[in-house]
Structure 1
Amino acid sequence: MKKRRNYSGPDAAGFDSEERFEGDRQFVSALYRGLRLLRCFRPSDSGGLGNLELAQRSGLPNSTVSRLTYTLSKLGYLIYDENNGRYRMGVPVLSLGYACLGGMKIRDTAQVYMQEMADKSGGGVLVALGARDGLSMTYVACARSEGLVSLQLTVGSRISLARSAIGRAYLAGATEEERSHLMEGIRERVGPERWPQMEAEIHEAVEQVRTKGFYTNLGQWQPDVHAVAVPYRAPQGDTPLLAFNCGGPAYLLPKQRLEDDLGPRLVELVNTVSRAGAGF
């Protein structure tokens, strides 16, 4: 029997628990489960995933997973490899992703200013724009400076909502209701031992954004990575909450440089993008 969760935040697959929608007669459970299954795939799964692995990642019963993978493969969203009994994503999934990116006008507006900041910041700096995906942030635009050293992240990369600069900036910019909902899911994921410190760090990020306009993350996502981040809400209100960040190797981005230079410049970038976006 599937274990029922006792919280309403996003689960490990990034989806809200299905029980949260109980009683909603418009909610289609079969569609939810199919999308949940697709969300289990990661860029590192080059060899594909079998039904057992998909069941473990999704939390869905084996019999349900078998029916879903069969249906999704018939529609082309999954491709079945008879040699190893594994599935990988098909091209139709990619078309959905590009359709999403194509509908985000903010990407084209921001890209020029992001690249300008990356170029002026020097080697090793990555400037990115991200959107929330469950309990992760997904990069939807990136600009990097020239140089041999840089973070190996690009459009489509997913990083932690709870630990990263861009994720915590997003939480700082969210409404009280959304933040509370997300933090409930984070608490469930990290467990009672790690939660008090995590909660304190997120509240610190909220305070930094309130007082300085940006948040500074010194190795809390990865020990050797420093970054600053700023939440962004489009003036038209037709774009979901996003966040910008600027980061790189810790030895290239000491705290003072982040606080005195890159943080304020990232705030100005966001303000510039906001003014440009208002003209759409």
Structure 2
Amino acid sequence: MDLSAGVNPEPSLSPQEAADAPRGETAGAQTLRRGLAVLRLLTRVGPGGLRMNEIGRRLGLAKATAIRLTLTLVDEGFVIHDRATGAYRLGPEAFAVGLAAEPSYELQRLAAPLMNALALESGDTLFFTVLHGDESICLSRAEGDFPIRNQLVKAGDRWPLGVGAGSCAMLAALADADIDAILARNAAQRLAHYPRCSDAAIRALILETRAQGYCLNPGLVLESSWALGVPVYDRHNRPVASISLAAIEPRLGAARRAALGNRLMQASRELTQQQLGRPQPD
């Protein structure tokens, strides 16, 4: 069963931001921003790619602009055109960039065995997200065997910080002044796309998270999907990522969510210890 039914995941892509440059931005910067939006979109849709008209539609771009940007990316090797399907998908240069950046995501590699174990133990869906500015980005997921699964969040999806259990757990681990500034900056996006994730709702979750050590999101993003999340810290005790678990509400009764919350906190502590036990990169 797909829990994402009736929920449009595209708003997390901020298509209007991709189409409209900030006031005062140069034409070159605007073109770069839109080209990166094409790459970001193709990253999120997976290996099947998208046809040209769908790229333009999802990003709110004029047809001529979508064609120009995408074909430039094809010329440079960041995108390839599958003539059999007509779709455009990521090319070898995008893969090379990913390989170059991959050492920066050692924490994700360390977390993978823990996430797989938790998915096997719980039967539910686990997510690993990282903190990036005012957003959280899902890097990976691990699925348990319970037949009703959360399909709302996929690798590559971005969410305003505070939206979702893992995202809110990271936000709660920041200083109060940083929380105030972040909520002010992403207030409009939350109001437009996640109206139940109001300042008051998120601040209440922050207080609960700090008191119990894990965040419980009671269906604020998707009513039928509840989630638990914990922050993950780097070797300097800074919140940089999160592990979260999503399930339907009946599977997260008080006793089970307390047990799973404690298990998530244990996994976070294990990750911290693993980092401390590894040599620092040169």
Partner residue of 1:186? Answer: 186
Alignment CA distance shift 1:262-1:57 (3 Å):
same
User: Conserved in 2, the CA contact under 8 Å of 1:109 and 1:273?
Assistant: yes
Pick from 16, 19, 23: which aligns with 2:22? Answer: 19
Q: Structure 1 residue 74: deviation in Å? A: 0.6
Superposed CA RMSD: 3.9
Residue 252 of structure 1, CA deviation: 2.2
User: Structure 2: how far apart are the matches of 1:207 and 1:137?
Assistant: 20
Q: Which residue of 2 aligns with 1:199?
A: 199
Q: Check conservation: 1:136, 1:158, Cα contact below 8 A.
A: no
Task: Name the one with the larger helix percent.
Answer: 2
What's the CA shift string for 1:205-247, capped at 9, x where partnerless?
Answer: 221222221110122222222221112220247x872111122
Is 1:246–2:245 an aligned residue pair?
A: yes
Structure 1 distance, partners of 2:83, 2:143, is 40
1:169 touches 1:206 (CA, 8 Å); kept in 2?
yes
**Cα pair 1:101 1:140 within 8 Å, conserved:** no
When residues 152 and 56 of structure 1 are mapped into structure 2, their CA distance, relative to the original with a 3 A threshold, is closer
Matched, 1:209 2:212: no
From 262, 266, 269, the equivalent of 1:271 is 269
1:255–1:223 CA distance, 2 compared to 1 (3 A): farther
Structure 1 partner of 2:37: 36
Displacement, 1:190?
4.0
Structure 2 residue runs of 5 or longer lacking an equivalent are 1-11
CA contact (8 A) 2:194 2:221 kept: no
- The secondary structure found in structure 1 opposite 2:255 is helix
How much does 1:199 deviate? 1.6
Residues 1:158 and 2:161 are matched in the alignment: no
SS at the partner of 1:151?
coil
Contact 1:214 1:263 in 2 (8 A): yes
Counterpart AA for 2:173 = G
In 2, Cα distance between the equivalents of 1:132 and 1:20? 26
**Contact 1:166–1:230, Cα closer than 8 Å, also in 2:** yes
**1:135-146 mapped onto 2 (5 Å cutoff):** 137-146=136-145
SS class of match (1:276): helix
C-alpha contact (below 8 Å) 1:138/1:155 kept by paired residues = no
Distance (whole Å) between structure 2 residues aligned to residue 193 and residue 43 of structure 1: 20
Aligned-pair identity in percent equals: 22
| Correspondence for 1:4 | none
Distance change >3 Å, CA 147–CA 193, structure 1 → 2 = closer
Tell me, which stretches of 5 or more residues in structure 1 are unaligned? Answer: 1-9
Q: CA deviation at 1:118?
A: 3.4
Q: TM-score if structure 1 supplies the norm length?
A: 0.73
Give the secondary structure class of the aligned counterpart of 1:76: coil
Q: Which residue pairs with 1:170 in the alignment?
A: 170
- Could you say which residue in structure 1 is the equivalent of 2:50? 48
Paired residue type of 1:173:
A
**Structure 1 CA distance for aligned equivalents of residues 109 and 182 of structure 2:** 29
Question: 2:16 & 2:76 partners in 1: Cα distance?
Answer: 24
Separation in 1 of the partners of 2:25 and 2:210? 36
Deviations 1:229-277 (A, max 9, x none): 112220247x87211112223222223321x211122112212211221
Deviation, 1:71, is: 1.1
Scaled by the length of structure 2, the TM-score of the pair is 0.72
- Residue 191 of structure 1 and its aligned partner are, at CA, apart by 3.7
Which has the higher mean CA deviation after the structures are superposed, 89-98 or 227-236?
89-98
Which secondary structure state, in structure 1, belongs to the residue aligned with residue 221 of structure 2? coil
In structure 1, what is the Cα distance between the partners aligned to 2:88 and 2:143?
33
Task: State yes or no: 1:221 paired with 2:221.
Answer: yes
Change in CA separation of 1:150 and 1:197 when aligned onto 2, cut-off 3 Å: closer
In 2: Cα distance, 1:214 partner to 1:246 partner: 11
**Higher mean displacement: 267-276 or 73-82:** 73-82
- Counterpart AA for 1:275: Q
Q: How many residues align?
A: 263
> Which residue identity is paired with 1:235?
R
3-state SS in 1 of match to 2:223: coil
